[in-house]
């Protein structure tokens, strides 16, 4: 183990001062040190998307990202997308369309969809499927997930 380093993370708009080993992943630091447990531990290999967070608005797999590389970056987890008790529009659409089943993958899907919609406010179904290509959901066939996200942009 290497010596620990001081680190300040800007997480969901709040600064968190931490001391971490330089080899720790962002996923581990989020879940264990900050208690942002909405970020899920899935495969630990970057294949499932359950650990997706937004870094400066871009989806990133936190299981493959070193926490120390996040200095000066804005990190958003699923805990940071809703306003008070009000769900984010992506979350509301997923619920409305019956797309949430076990929920394990949903944090990654919500954040990936949020980033897509900020980049492209009216994505097509194909664009949604491409954006969600690195998010694995074992409960659904993705049809309702895609339908929900497309509904937010108003295009078929």
C-alpha to C-alpha distance for 119 and 124, rounded to whole angstroms: 13
Residue 153 binned pLDDT confidence (cut-offs 50, 70, 90): confident
Q: In the prediction, which pLDDT does 154 show? A: 63
Q: In the prediction, which pLDDT does 84 show? A: 87
DSSP state of 5: E
What residues form DSSP beta bridges with 54?
Answer: 59, 76
Q: In the prediction, which pLDDT does 156 show? A: 44
Q: Which domains does the chain have, with CATH numbers?
A: 5-80 (3.10.20.30), 89-153 (1.10.150.120)
**Taking Cα atoms as reference points, which of 90, 88, 70 lies closest to residue 79?**
88
The pTM (predicted TM-score) of the whole model is 0.93
What confidence tens digit (pLDDT) does each residue in 89-99 have? 999 999 999 99
- Residue 86, classified by CB atoms within 10 Å of its CB into exposed (0-12), middle (13-18) or buried (19+), is exposed
Return mean pLDDT, the chain. 93
Quick one: average pLDDT of 81-86?
Answer: 90
C-alpha to C-alpha distance for 119 and 105, rounded to whole angstroms: 22
Q: In the prediction, which pLDDT does 1 show? A: 56
Question: C-alpha distances in angstroms, 118 versus 5, 13, 50, 54, 86?
Answer: 34, 18, 20, 12, 19
What confidence tens digit (pLDDT) does each residue in 22-80 have? 999 999 999 999 999 999 999 999 999 999 999 999 999 999 999 999 999 999 999 99
C-alpha to C-alpha distance for 131 and 109, rounded to whole angstroms: 9
66 three-class SS: strand
Q: In the prediction, which pLDDT does 2 show? A: 67
DSSP state of 62: G
Quick one: average pLDDT of 131-150?
Answer: 91
C-alpha to C-alpha distance for 72 and 99, rounded to whole angstroms: 35
């Amino acid at each position: 183990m290497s010596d620990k380093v001081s680190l300040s993370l800007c997480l969901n708009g709040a600064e968190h001062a931490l001391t971490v080993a330089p080899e720790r992943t962002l996923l581990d630091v989020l879940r264990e040190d900050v208690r942002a447990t909405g970020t899920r531990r899935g495969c630990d290999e970057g294949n499932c998307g359950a650990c997706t967070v937004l870094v400066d608005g871009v989806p990133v797999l936190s299981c493959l990202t070193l926490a120390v590389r996040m200095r000066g970056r804005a990190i958003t987890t699923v805990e940071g997308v809703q306003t008070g008790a009000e769900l984010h529009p992506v979350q509301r659409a997923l619920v409305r369309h019956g797309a949430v089943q076990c929920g394990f993958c949903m944090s990654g899907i919500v954040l990936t969809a949020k980033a897509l919609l900020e980049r492209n406010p009216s994505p097509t179904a194909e664009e949604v499927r491409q954006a969600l290509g690195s998010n694995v959901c074992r409960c659904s066939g993705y049809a309702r997930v895609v339908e929900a996200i497309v509904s937010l942009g108003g295009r078929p």
